[in-house]
Amino acid sequence: MNREDLEHIIRAAGEVTDWYEFVVVGSQSILGAVPAPPARLKASMEADIYPRGRPRTTRLGGPVEPGGHQLVGLCLDPTDLFLSKCHANREKDIEFNRELLRWNYVQVAVARERVADMPVTARDMELLLARISRLVRELRDMGIHIVGG
């Protein structure tokens, strides 16, 4: 999916619901902060959007504003997207996160700091920190230098 596809989805959602502000979550929320990301970060053909206020989020970045329609799609901050995918820890999420780190869309130190803000148990926080370290180590083993890793 590219930015234009996401704009189309936001326009369609606005027409169907009469809402004008939406929150974009999931992998395609990267399109708010990075309008033209590498292909591996825009492979999904799905976009999860909600009228503003659901789900509850703390940091929103890069709005996607389909021109002339007075609509807005607020996208997750890339670091929060990264952490949500670390928590889900599905194979597709791990691959997505490798790409976020590889292209330096997420700073490792910031991600580690934000783990403490997540509404998860202390044990889950430990797991998240371990998953971040594992991703950095795997990329380093592949010869890819991660800033702050």
Distance CA 106, CA 124 (A): 20
pTM over 0.85? The answer is yes
How many residues in the chain? Answer: 149
Residue 65: what pLDDT? 66
DSSP string, 75-121: EEPHHHHHHHHHHH--HHHHHHHHHHHHTTSS-HHHHHHHGGGSSS-
pLDDT of 58: 47
Lookup: tokens for 114: 């934000």
SS3 7: helix
Backbone dihedral angles phi then psi of residue 68, each to the nearest 5 degrees: 75, 5
75 phi, psi to nearest 5 deg: -105, 150
Quick: pLDDT tens for 32-56.
999 999 999 999 999 999 998 654 4
Question: Helix, strand, or coil here: 103?
Answer: coil
pLDDT tens digit string along 93-140? 999 999 999 999 999 999 999 999 999 999 999 999 999 999 999 999
Query: How far is Cα 32 from Cα 63, in angstroms, rounded to an integer?
Result: 5
